[in-house]
Amino acid sequence: MIKAYACIWSNKSAAEMVKFYKSVFKGTKVGKFSYWGKNPMGIKEGSVLTAHITILGQKLMLLNGYEEMSFNESISFVVPCKTQREIDTYWKKLSSGGGKPVQCGWVIDKFGVRWQIAPADFDKWNTSKNKKKMEAMTNEMWKMTKLDIKKLQAAFDNA
């Protein structure tokens, strides 16, 4: 069965993005590339059109489109982390080279793609039927830029 996957319009950076994400996420698989043929948009024939990669089991297609498009806050990729070391590692790598940390565990990488670097238990905490625990964890999260698993867990457990 074919599964849905995301396409990231990369503004001529698909090949560079493949290298960067491969350096950030261990086990990233690089798939096939396609190349521009003759076209009416003036894009150089033979330049990269698409690059397929699989990051943490999620297939993505990076597309070098024919006009500049910008990313916005409405789409992001969530990276669930089991340890604080994972959070710290992804945070450092994704914010390097011009990336930007954002409140509540978000980071914008140097290409403008938004990532949520979150504890693996975040969904469990955030969907808890115990409103007091969920709100305590959320209030603690709002104080943070990079998330701290121990503080979030403590806020949840001690509410």
pTM (two decimals): 0.92
Token pair for residue 93? 């790598």
Does residue 79 contact residue 118 with C-beta atoms inside 8 Å? yes
Of the pLDDT bands very low, low, confident and very high (cuts 50, 70, 90), residue 66 is: confident
Mind listing the domains of the chain with CATH numbers?
A: 1-69 (3.30.720.100), 70-159 (3.10.180.10)
Q: Tell me, what's the pLDDT at 76? A: 94
Q: Tell me, what's the pLDDT at 30? A: 98
Q: Tell me, what's the pLDDT at 132? A: 97
Coil, helix or strand for 150?
A: helix
For 114-145, what is each residue's pLDDT tens digit? Answer: 999 999 999 999 999 999 999 999 999 999 99
Token pair for residue 126? 């955030």
DSSP 70-139: ---TT--EEEEESSHHHHHHHHHHHTTTT-EEEGGGEEE-TTS-EEEEEETTHHHHHT-S-HHHHHHHHH
Does residue 102 contact residue 133 with C-beta atoms inside 8 Å? no
